Chain A
């Protein structure tokens, strides 16, 4: 019980530290939100107007007071309001985060559907033309920057073949078919790279498992190749692959910026870029806080499950 309490306490401390660092970092970066807001469109703002806006936004208060107010708000579940338009930060995050999560989930499923069977095939036919071809494709897509892949996809699928739109977003509730059609390109762009990783991981894991004693035993007992592959090899080989997929999903939370930008997919990453550019402190800090909390919660859940399943971890 003490171990569980320690883990939870440590997680809370971590969230507080991340939030504080995010708050400090964005305030340290040069750039005044009031000046930027009033400088829109390349017109010169009047300094007295800038002062008035700073006061209106509460930016004239000492930094520690602003920090204290923000922490007080967070403790009450209030992440504050965007400086630019006064919309509650929690609303902004609630609007954008699900879209990024949806993209990550879709890309992960796509990557798994692509990488698992192809990686298994590559392992089973190790050294064949198929294996070498799949390896070459994996190397190509693993190393290709997402913006290059995205540009190629737009050029081929949208511009030349005109199968899909160039980009954008339609809510599922408005038009489910258009929603998925627009999700397709960013999913492929993110998923191909990840699929290449999964393919290589699967190939390595399957190869490793194929050489295990219990596989040899199963074979000697007369089990068919398909049965061995499905029941004995894949089950054991999938563990590291799933771990890699889970790690990549976490990393993609902040790593879909280019994809969202290129495909005009309005997720949380592109929102963060806008917020940083306009120095919208509450949105930046609130978003980082939310992402950090998600990470910490995920890790905490994993830790607690490990601890529950394996008593040695608790020691």
Chain B
């Protein structure tokens, strides 16, 4: 065979090899977990909110003093605690190490908490943890936190991914790369694309994590994310799109882990316009068909919400509280007449252009309100514009969606009372509701708290600062071979990546 023929033969073989169809399924590597992300977090600063995705990643590289288990129960994490008085917590740290090899000390805990509550802090939890009066180092692994007043939710607050314990040496590290002590280290952060996390050998739980590597890749298109799951290209996807849930149910190669992790609601401007009248807000509350909203926005993967978005638990019982709003068009019309709007009116309602579920929910609300004479014009804006204009109160009422930061009823506080925010009704002030929230937060007895939050639900039904529309399904899809992963209940759903330390690929 001549050289030329050999060359041509080799070339043809190479071309054939490259063109030969092959199955692009992952190799038999049980030590690398492929995780498809729904967004790429804008920031990984330890004390900022990095969005659901970023917070999930943080829960793999950081640890807090307390945490939640798979059932959503509060548990000791980096530390056990005692509570000598209602306003004092003493934490005893376990033997743990940061990713740079240094031991986790009380000084690091004090550093982390003080960074959050410090004067120039931009931490997400700064306001929520303002009840911290001081943090005292009692020993190398012992620290006392003194609160200004009893706070039933303090241990919940510090279990969130916004309060990680990082090394005091992080002060001299890049802000986006603090030194954590979680089960995985950040091996590579590829901007806009994803993360490579590696097993931390000195993690304090023996034998964990079970896998060596987590490759988390951002899939901007949710259909592609789902297709990647179905195709077996990835092991886990987060934020399963509602339109894909039915299609994925029953597929042998996909396991769904879903719960009610968030909710949609109506909020109002309390400072100007027709909705300053509580009767008009109530009329809207009675006019809306919540099942239709659930069907349209979430393809039926949710549940109507006629009251405050508070998960059932030790401190709240829906059965006791009841829901103030169910669809009653006649009652809604009567309230409109009483408010002096028998002929109705038209109103511009902002909606987010890049989240189709908002538009679908808005369309249902629009159709429902037409029945009581309110003509709704949906005004589309992108997330940035929507956020900024709603923070400034440039609306009369709006449809929005959110989640809580923990499952305690007090999570509703930030949705009702506080400075102007795109998340809550603009200009709403209510001494009655504020007193109830304060009482609920300071009360440590769950039975008494149930009564308080049942009263709160009733009060909010009368005043209408937040009128619920629908719980929405939220969660993950995994391959059946993924063991040890679960969707945590309600608002903790987005914290489920904390369980990644126990995940194995079998």
Contact A85 B221 (CB under 8 A): no
Q: Is A271 an interface residue (CB 8 A)?
A: yes
Judged by a CB distance under 8 angstroms, whether B28 is at the interface is: no
A177 touching B23, Cβ below 8 Å: no
Is A85 in contact with B42, judged by CB distance below 8 angstroms?
Answer: yes
Are A40's CB and B387's CB within 8 A?
no
B192 interface neighbour in A30, A32, A270, Cβ under 8 Å: A270
User: Which B residue sits closest to A266, measured CB to CB?
Assistant: B193
Among B41, B49, B176, the one with the most A-chain Cβ atoms within 10 Å of its Cβ is B49
Instruction: Check A274–B192 contact: CB distance below 8 A.
Output: yes
Question: A147 → chain B, closest Cβ, in Å?
Answer: 9
Q: Which of B51, B174, B233 has a CB less than 8 Å from the CB of A41?
A: B51
Near B by CB (< 8 A), chain A positions 16-52 give: 29-33, 35-49, 52
Bound form: Cα–Cα A270–B176 in Å: 22
A232 to chain B, nearest CB (A): 30
A267 to B44, CA, bound (A): 21
Answer whether residue A71 sits at the interface, using C-beta atoms and an 8 A cutoff.
no
Q: Are B414 and A43 in contact (CB under 8 A)?
A: yes
Counting CB contacts under 8 A, is A158 at the interface?
A: yes
Main secondary structure of the interface of B (DSSP, over half): loop
Q: Mark B242-272, 1 if CB is under 8 A from A, else 0.
A: 0000000000000000000010000000000
A-B contact count (CB 8 A): 175
CB-based contact A261/B220 at 8 Å: yes
A85-B43, A159-B231, A164-B24 in contact; A43/B124 too (CB < 8 A)? yes
Q: B121 at interface (Cβ–Cβ under 8 A)?
A: yes
Asked whether any CB of chain A lies closer than 8 Å to the CB of B299, the reply is no
When distances are taken between beta carbons in the complex, the residues of chain B under 8 Å from A85 are 42-44, 176, 191
> CA of A154 to CA of B43 in the docked complex: distance in angstroms?
31
The answer to whether B51 touches A40, judged by C-beta atoms less than 8 angstroms apart, is yes
Partner of A270, one of B220, B381, B401: B220
Instruction: Quote the shortest CB–CB distance from B54 to chain A (angstroms).
Output: 7
Chain B residues with CB under 8 Å of A49's CB are 121-124, 126-127
CB contacts (< 8 Å) of B383 on chain A: these are 36, 277
The answer on a CB contact under 8 Å between B227 and A154 is: yes
| Cβ–Cβ < 8 Å partners of B230 in chain A | 159
Is A250 interfacial (CB 8 A cutoff)? no
Residue on B nearest A161 in the bound complex, by CB: B21
* A41 B24 Cβ-Cβ under 8 A: no
Nearest chain A residue, comparing its CB with the CB of B394: A30
B residues near A151, Cβ cutoff 8 Å: 223
- The distance from the CB of A149 to the nearest CB of chain B, in whole angstroms, is 14
* A30:B384 contact, CB within 8 angstroms: yes
Contact with B along A151-165 (1 / 0, CB 8 A): 100100011011111
Q: Is A53 an interface residue, CB under 8 A from the partner?
A: yes
* Minimal beta-carbon separation of B42 from chain A (angstroms): 4
Residues of B within 8 A of A48 (CB): 126-127
Contact B122 A53 (CB under 8 A): yes
Nearest residue (CB) in A for B419 is: A47
Give the CA-CA distance A181 to B24 in the complex, in Å. Answer: 9
Instruction: Give Cα distance in the complex from A250 to B24, angstroms.
Output: 33
List residues 163-219 of chain B with CB under 8 A from any CB of chain A. 174-176, 190-193, 217-219
Tell me if B407 counts as interface (CB < 8 A to partner A).
no
Are B122 and A30 in contact (CB-based, < 8 A)? no
Task: Select the stretch in B290-298, B371-379, B420-428, B434-442 that faces chain A.
Answer: B420-428
Q: How many angstroms between the C-alpha atoms of A39 and B123 in the bound complex?
A: 12
| Shortest distance from the beta carbon of A268 to any chain B beta carbon, whole Å | 10
Tally of chain B residues near chain A (CB < 8 A):
69
Residue B487 interfacial (CB < 8 Å): no
Residue of B42, B223, B387, B405 near A31 (CB, 8 A) is B387
Is A296's CB within 8 Å of the partner chain B? no
A262 at the interface (CB under 8 A from B): yes
* Residue A167, interface by CB 8 Å: yes
- Chain B 4-49 interface residues, beta-carbon cutoff 8 Å to A: 18, 21-25, 40-44, 48-49
Query: B43 near A277 (CB under 8 angstroms)?
Result: no
**Distance between B183 CB and nearest chain A CB, rounded to angstroms:** 22
Inter-chain contact B221/A264, CB cutoff 8 Å: yes
**Whose C-beta in chain B lies nearest to the C-beta of A84?**
B42
Is residue A95 within 8 Å, beta carbon to beta carbon, of the partner chain?
A: yes
Q: When the two chains form their complex, are residues B389 and A30 in contact, meaning their CB atoms are under 8 A apart?
A: yes
- A87: CB under 8 A from chain B? yes
In the assembled complex, the Cα of A278 lies from the Cα of B50 at a distance in Å of 13
Residues on A with C-beta less than 8 A from B49 are 38-41, 43
User: Which one of B193, B223, B230 has the greatest number of beta carbons of chain A within 10 Å?
Assistant: B193
Bound Cα distance A56, B24 (Å): 46
CB pair A42 B401 closer than 8 Å: yes
Which chain A residue has the least Cβ–Cβ distance from B176?
A85
Assess the B122–A32 pair: CB atoms within 8 A. Answer: no
Query: Are B22 and A163 closer than 8 Å at their CB atoms?
Result: yes
**Min CB–CB distance A177 → chain B (angstroms):** 7
* A278 to B422 alpha-carbon distance, docked (Å): 16
Nearest A residue to B389, CB-CB: A30
Q: Shortest distance in angstroms between A189's beta carbon and chain B's nearest beta carbon?
A: 13
- Contact present for A31 and B382 (CB under 8 Å): yes
- Smallest Cβ-Cβ distance to A87: which chain B residue: B191
A-B contact pairs, 28 of them (CB 8 A): A35-B387, A37-B43, A38-B48, A38-B124, A41-B54, A42-B52, A44-B415, A45-B421, A47-B419, A49-B121, A49-B123, A84-B42, A84-B43, A85-B42, A85-B44, A87-B191, A92-B192, A95-B190, A95-B191, A154-B227, A159-B227, A163-B24, A166-B228, A166-B233, A167-B228, A181-B24, A262-B224, A278-B42
Chain A positions within 8 Å of B, measured between CB atoms, are 29-33, 35-49, 52-53, 56, 82, 84-87, 92, 95-96, 151, 154, 158-159, 161-169, 177, 180-181, 261-264, 266, 270-271, 274, 277-280
Q: 6 more A-B contacts (CB under 8 A) besides A32-B388, A46-B418, A177-B18?
A: A31-B387, A44-B422, A95-B191, A261-B221, A264-B217, A277-B384
